[in-house]
Structure 1
Amino acid sequence: MTTLLSTLYFVSSAQKIKPRREIGNKKRYKSIVPGQEWLDTDGKPIQAHGFSVFYKDGTYYWYGENKEKTVKGSNVWTWGIRCYTSKDFYNWKDRGLIIQPDTLDALSPLNPSQGIDRPHIIYNAKTKKFVCWIKLLGTDGQFMTVLTANNFMGPYKIANKAIRPNGLEAGDFDLYVDEKTGKGYFWHERPHYELICAELTDDYTSVNGKYSVHYSGLIPPDTREAPTHFVANGKHYLYTSGTTGYSPNKSRISTFDDYHGAYKDLGNPHPADSTYSSYCSQITEVIKIPGKKNLYVALADRWMPEWCGTDKPKQEVEKIRQRFLGHKPNPINYAKVTLIDRTGEKREDWDARSKANYVWLPIVWEKGVPNIYWKNEWKLEEYK
C-alpha cells in the first residue's frame, strides 16, 4: 500500500503544481520540480544520466549519459555523452555531444553497444588537460576508459582504453581534485564487496598504486556503490547507495578527514523517506550554489520513474537480499580486460532507460549531517 508520504513525494498525477510559463511550444521554468519530466530549451527531454554538474564563470554545466536511443529492442546502451548549459539552474540549453559515439568500431569503448556509464571530468592544472573517466560494463566484469581533451567541450581522445585500477574490478565511481594539493582521488565500488579510495597519477589518467578500503565485507543489497563525494564547511562527505541495479534503495552518508583514514557513517540521509528508496532515486552529484551562504543541492537520477509510489523498489531490494542470503563476501579478481563485439545484444525493459528522469533537492544541515527532505517544488530564491 502506498503511504501518504510517498504519494506526496513521488509527484503523482493528482499533485497540484503551478503551471509552467509557455514560450511558443516550449516551457520556461522558474523552479525545480523533482521527479517530473524536465525539458531543455528546445522542448526535448533532457538526456544526461549518471551525471555531473559544475559551475564556472556564471554558467552551470550538466553532462551525462545520452540515453535518447537506449530503447527496448535496440543494441544501444549509451549514445555518447551529452552536455547542457544554464544561467539560472532551471532552464538548460542542449550543447550537443561532447564525447561522440564510435559507430564504426564495434570494439571501441565508445561504441553505443558497450556498457558506457557515469562520465566524470576533472581538470589537470599541470597538463592543462580535461580528463574524463568512464565506467564500462564488460562480459568479464567492470573496468574504466580514460579520455583527455584540451577543452571541456572536446574533442576527447582515448588515453587509457581499458584498465582495472590497481588490478581491481571497478564499478560506480567518483573523481575529485584536492584544491590544496592538486592531487586526484578516485572512489569506486569493488562490485559486491567493498568501496575503494585510490590516488590518481599526476596526469590523472591512471592510479599510482596507493589506495584504501572502506565499507568492506558487505554483500548486496548492502554493498556500497554510486559514491558521491563533496566538501562542505571544511569536511569531506560521501553519499553512497546500496547495490540493487537500477532499483532505488536506501542511501548512506559518511564523513572523513583523511582520504585513507576512517570513514564515519552518519546513517540514512533521507530520514523522512518511509519507503527507504531515497525518494525513488540514486544520488550522483552534489553542487554548492554560488552566491548562497550554505546551499548545497543533492542531484539524483530517478532510473525507474514507473516504480515510484509503489512497493516495487522494496520488493526488488528484498529479492536481491534473498538471492545473496548466506553468501560470504567474496572479492573477484579478473586477470584480463576485454572489449567484445556486443552489437548483437538487445536492450530489454529493465535496461532501456531513455525515460529516466531526475530528483534535485536541497540539503538540510542537521547537527552537521547533510540530510535530504522531499519538496514538491522549490526555488533557489528561497535561500539566502
Structure 2
Amino acid sequence: MPPYEYAEHGKISPGKLFLDQDGKVAQLHGAGIQQFDDTFFAWGEDKTYGGTFGGVACYSSPDLATWTFHGHSLPVTEDVHELAPGRVIERPKVLRNHNGKYVMFLHVDSSDYSDAKVGWAISEKPEGPYEFLRAERPLGNISRDIGVFADDDGTGYLLSEDRDHGLQIYRLSDDYLSVDSIVSTTLAPESNHPLGAHGYESPAMVKVAGLYYLFGSDLTGWSTNDNKYSTAEAPSGPWSEWEDFAPPGSATHDSQISTVVSVKGAQDTCHVYVGDRWIREDLFHSAPVWLPIHISDGKASLAWTDEWTLNAGTGTFTA
C-alpha cells in the first residue's frame, strides 16, 4: 500500500484524504453536497468493497473540511435487488423539494454496467434513512453518471450521461420523483463513439449571475482527463462550445468532477469544485481534489492551491 496523506483538521488539501470525527477515512467518493441552513451535508460512495456497493455514506460539516459521519443514508440491503451486495450504486446526489422531503438520485447498475438506470430514494431528514423507491431508465434512455440541479424557482433538473444520444438534461416533476421531459442534449466534439453520439459524463451544473454553467468529464474510465464546461442562458440551450476550465494537459489537476458547490455567504458567493482522484486498485483511499473555482462573466477557471480554508458565513475562502 502506498503511504496515504491526510488533510490537517479544518483545512482542505487537494489530493489528501479527509478523516471523520473518529479518525476514519471519509468515504466522500463521487459525492453530492448541499448546504442546508448553516450545515453542509455530503453523500458519498462507500468504497469498502471496491467497485461494488458498500452503502451511501452521509457526513455533515460546517466548512467542507471538518466531517461528522452519520452512518449510511442508504445501506447495502440483501432483500432489495438494486441495493444487494455486488450491485453498483454511484454518484449519490440529493435535492430538497418544496414539501421539505429529501430526494436522493443514484446511478443504479449491475456489475457489468448493463442496467444503466437512475434510482430514487426519499427521506424526511438529509442524513436519512432513505427509502429506496425504484430504478428506471429515464424516458427509456440509458443513464450512467448523473448530476442534479435546482433552479431559483425550484425547478429540478437531472443531468445524465447517455452515450447513445449525448449528455441529457431532464426536467423533473414538481416533487422531483420522476422525469417529465428532455430539456436539451449536448454532444462532445469530435466523437469517436461507434454510434456517433458521445456526451460528457459526471455532469454538474450551477447558475451564476443568470448564466448556466454545465461541467463534464470525458469518457476515459478511471483515468483522468481535461474536463470541460459550456454555458447557456437557459438549461434548454443553446450551449456554447465546450472549453477547458483547468490548465490544458493537467487532466483537471489529475481529477474528475463530481459536483460544484455554490457557497452563499454574507459578503460574497464562492464556488467549490468537488472532484475525485481515482485509484482503481484501491478505491477506498481515492483522494478528494476540492478546489475553489472562479466562475464569472461566462468563464470558469480552476487553479491549484496546496491548502485552503472556507468561511461559509462570509462566502469567502483563504488559500
**Shorter-chain-normalised TM-score: which range?**
0.7 to 0.9
The equivalent residue for 1:70 is: 49
- CA deviations over 1:128-175 (Å, ceiling 9, x no partner): 42111111223434112211122222222222x221101111111111
1:36 matches 2:9: no
CA distance in 2, matches of 1:131, 1:365: 27
Cα distance change of structure 1 residues 383 and 353 upon mapping to structure 2, 3 Å threshold: closer
Asked if 1:92 corresponds to 2:67, the answer is: yes
Tell me the residue number matched to 1:288. Answer: 262
SS in 1 for 2:139: helix
Structure 2 partner of 1:371:
301
- Write the deviation string for residues 2-44 of structure 1: whole angstroms up to 9, x where unpaired: xxxxxxxxxx99xxx9xx9xxxxxx852421100122122111
What pairs up with 1:38-57 in 2 under 5 angstroms?
A: 38-57=18-37
Matched with 1:279 is 253
Kindly state the Cα deviation for residue 245 of structure 1 after the two structures are TM-superposed.
Answer: 1.3
1:240 is the counterpart of 2:240: no
Q: In the aligned structure 2, how far is the partner of 1:262 from the partner of 1:197?
A: 12
Corresponding residue for 1:136? 108
How many pairs were matched up? 305
- Evaluate the alpha carbon distance shift between residue 91 and residue 79 of structure 1 in structure 2; reply closer, same or farther with a 3 A threshold: same
Matched residues in 1 for 2:152 and 2:92: separation? 21
Runs of 4+ off more than 6 Å: none
Select the residue among 163, 181, 205 that pairs with 2:177: 205
- Residue in structure 2 matched with residue 219 of structure 1 by the alignment: 192
| Equivalences for residues 18-37 of structure 1 within 5 A | 29-37=9-17
Match of 1:270 among 246, 251, 257: 246
**Counterparts in 2 of 1:250-269, with a 5 A limit?**
250-269=226-245
Tell me the amino acid that sits aligned with residue 241 of structure 2.
D
Q: Which residue of 2 aligns with 1:154?
A: 128
Q: Would the alpha carbon gap of residues 258 and 42 (structure 1) be closer, same or farther in structure 2, given more than 3 Å must change?
A: same
Q: CA deviation at 1:184?
A: 1.7
Uncovered stretches (5+) of structure 2, i.e. residues with no partner: none
Identity of aligned residues (%): 28
The equivalent of 1:342 in structure 2 is none
Would you say the 8 A contact 1:283–1:301 is kept in 2? yes
The CA deviation string for residues 178-228 of structure 1, in whole angstroms up to 9 with x for no partner, is 221x22211111126511111112222221234421116833597411111
What is the CA-CA distance between 1:63 and the residue it aligns to? 1.3
User: Structure 1 residues 216 and 28 mapped into 2: Cα distance closer, same or farther (>3 Å)?
Assistant: closer
Q: Determine whether 1:299 maps to 2:274.
A: yes
Task: Kindly indicate whether the alpha-carbon contact (under 8 Å) linking 1:130 and 1:150 is maintained by their aligned counterparts in 2.
Answer: yes
- Kept after mapping to 1: 8 A contact 2:149/2:156: yes
Q: What is the deviation of 1:246?
A: 1.3
Give TM-score, length-normalised by structure 1: 0.73
Q: Which has the larger radius of gyration?
A: 1
Question: What SS class does the counterpart of residue 290 from structure 2 fall into?
Answer: strand
| Deviation, structure 1 residue 367 | 5.2
Structure 1 counterpart SS, 2:252? coil
Q: Which amino acid aligns with 1:184?
A: G
Could you say what the CA RMSD is over the residues aligned between the two structures, in angstroms?
Answer: 2.6
Counterpart of 1:377 in 2: which secondary structure? coil
Per-residue CA deviations over 1:357-376 (Å, capped at 9, x if unaligned) read 10011113475311101111
In 2, Cα distance between the equivalents of 1:367 and 1:201?
Answer: 31
Tell which deviates more after alignment, 211-220 or 240-249. Answer: 211-220
From 147, 166, 170, the counterpart of 2:139: 166
* Pair 144,199 (structure 1): closer, same or farther in 2 beyond 3 Å: same
> For the Cα contact (< 8 Å) 1:80–1:112, is it kept in 2?
no
Aligned to 1:362: 292
Shift of 1:352: 4.9
Residue 278 of structure 1 aligns to a residue whose secondary structure is helix
Where do 5+ consecutive residues of structure 1 fail to align?
1-11, 21-26, 305-349
* Alignment of 1:145 onto 2:125: no
In 1, the alpha carbon distance for the partners of 2:294 and 2:46 equals: 31
Amino acid aligned to 1:360: W
Q: Which has the higher contact order (CA 8 A, sep 6+)?
A: 1
Counterpart amino acid of residue 284 in structure 1: S
- 3-state DSSP class of the match of 1:63? strand
Q: Deviations over 1:42-72 (max 9, x none)?
A: 11111121111122222111111111x224x
Residues 351 and 192 of structure 1: is their aligned pair in 2 closer, same or farther, counting only changes over 3 Å? Answer: farther
